[in-house]
Amino acid sequence: MTVPHEPLHTQQETLDPTDWVAFRARAHAMVDAAIDKMASTTEGRVWHEPPASLKASFNASLPMQGHGGDATQTMLTGLLPYGVGNTHPRFFGWVHGGGTPGNLIADIAAAAINANLGGRDHGAMYVEKQVNQWCRALFEFPETASGLVVSGTSIATIIALKTARDQCLEFASRSEGLAGAKLTGYTSTQTHSCVARAFDILGLGTHALRKIPVNGSFEIDTKALEVAIAADQAAGFTPFVIVGTAGAVNVGAIDDLEALADIAASRGLWFHVDGAFGALGVLSPRLKPRLSGIKRADSLAFDFHKWLHVNYDAGFVLMRSEAAHRKAFSERPDYLKGAERGLAAGNPWPVEYGPELSRGFRSLKIWTQLNEHGIDKLGEMVTRNCEQASYLAERVQEAPVTELLAPVAMNICCFRYVVPDYGVGQLNALNEEIVVQLQLKGIAAPSTTLLKGCTAIRVNITNHRTQFSDLDILLDAIIEIGAELAPQFA
């Protein structure tokens, strides 16, 4: 028995509150403010431009002395109205998810646990394993497949393509680099820029990614693909990967994934699918048949923060060959050695499947979303967004002043306001301005893109809050603003 003795040191200060009652009240006030924001998100303006005073308040000098919890909380609360607008039902820009109130609770729980998911044996790791298992089931990958929760499709793509690169070079590239290998990859002109960026980061160079033309539906031309691969082989290059897209960012086109899987299989190439938002189309009976090729992919990158409405950020990379995945990343120095028992158990660790060691508890948001709402309901939201895009396309085609610019493959509708006798330059400028006005007026927030030289008003619907009436509001506003602005562009 040790004898209680006088402490050697007096109690030292920590970063914890001295008054937990006051802290509890402050935390509850923030929870209330956050719920108020979420409960009222369907009302009012889509986007509030951050005021000059707010911008200026973030030019403060480095706080040598803390301002304390209350002053900090005032600043936090002041930030709440100035989101990008993606929680609003009429946010249609780029591809953003709307998030859910349930994820607010998950984030509080995750912050309380404050887990590091680089590895080791603790509760959070089992949540992550569950998410991995659900992803395999969702995309009909084998039980032996591996995966990693990441921040988004951009990093998921880097992880997948590094594995493809290393496998092609028999993993010597991990120590020797490319050593003169002339690797080439193939994708369509519609592919997201993160694929070229991955080629850059992986030392392959963006020119090694061959951009294959698309057909009238913006899907990769598979004949041109085969010609390009053969030409590169004849010229001494080493083709190693085909990247197909399930839901291309411009118009939502889905490549013929089965055909790409066949071509990759017949030539021994890695088949990667960028399914950032579109892969979740497998939840919808309407889209599922067109996505059957995903289950033949060697790797798939997709986001939970887009069409599954998980609050930012959460993406995933799914890999058919666990062995290749681990061989491309595993590097466990002595201080990270695993064990059979104790805290260092639970092997293999996520650190063996990606570039990061410390990793936050993103998987809790994902688990919460799937667990709370279930696949059936999340799938209904996907289907409804597609029906809404088709509905908008019908209205666009009916109206004499609007013109559809691309077929609607899933949830994206691209069109423009037209004025008879206006040239393409005038129409492009007019449509750019219509979109800016919609955003500034707070009515709706579509974005723009360029399709065959024409500026399109691009309406992406990955939003569980969007109602059909929101699309009426959008189109009516476009027609009104278009008529008002048209004379300025004459």
Ligand X SMILES: *Cc1c(COP(=O)(O)O)cnc(C)c1O
Q: Tell me the closest approach of the beta carbon of residue 252 to ligand X, in angstroms.
A: 9
Range 92-111, binding ligand X (CB under 6 A): 95
| Alpha-carbon torsion (134, 138, 139, 143), positive or negative | positive
Where does this chain touch ligand X (CB under 6 A) — which range of 36-44, 51-59, 272-280, 291-299? 272-280
Peptide bond into 348 cis (omega under 30): yes
Nearer to ligand X, 302 or 489 (CB): 302
Nearer to ligand X, 154 or 299 (CB): 154
Element (H, E) at 2: none
Closest CA to 269 of 166, 376, 168, 145: 168
219 binds ligand X (CB under 6 A): no
Nearer to ligand X, 154 or 448 (CB): 154
192 binds ligand X (CB under 6 A): yes
199 binds ligand X (CB under 6 A): no
Q: How far apart are CA 131 and CA 23, in angstroms?
A: 33
Range 284-303, binding ligand X (CB under 6 A): 303
Nearer to ligand X, 277 or 349 (CB): 277
| Contact (CB, 8 A) for 165 and 202 | yes
Q: How far apart are CA 420 and CA 427, in angstroms?
A: 10
Nearer to ligand X, 155 or 396 (CB): 155
Q: Tell me the closest approach of the beta carbon of residue 152 to ligand X, in angstroms.
A: 2
Query: C-alpha 302: how far from its chain's center?
Result: 6
| Contact (CB, 8 A) for 149 and 363 | yes
232 binds ligand X (CB under 6 A): no
Nearer to ligand X, 148 or 276 (CB): 276
Closest CA to 314 of 140, 446, 154, 466: 154
Nearer to ligand X, 132 or 153 (CB): 153
User: x-or-dash pattern for ligand X, window 449-478, by CB under 6 A?
Assistant: ------------------------------
Q: Tell me the closest approach of the beta carbon of residue 242 to ligand X, in angstroms.
A: 16
147 binds ligand X (CB under 6 A): no
Closest CA to 90 of 48, 46, 40: 46
DSSP annotation string for 395-434: HHHHSTTEEE-S--SSSEEEEEE--TT--HHHHHHHHHHH
Range 302-361, binding ligand X (CB under 6 A): 303, 315
Query: Is residue 82 packed enough to be buried (19+ CB in 10 Å), middle (13-18) or exposed (0-12)?
Result: middle
List the alpha helices (DSSP H) in 241-318.
Answer: 257-267
Nearer to ligand X, 102 or 247 (CB): 247
Range 376-435, binding ligand X (CB under 6 A): none
Q: Which of 41, 86, 103, 154 binds ligand X (CB under 6 A)?
A: 154
Q: Which of 274, 298, 352, 470 binds ligand X (CB under 6 A)?
A: 274
Distances (CA, A) of 346 to 122, 124, 128, 340, 350: 8, 11, 12, 8, 10
> Footprint of ligand X on this chain (CB under 6 A)?
95, 152-154, 192, 194, 247, 249, 274, 276-277, 303, 315
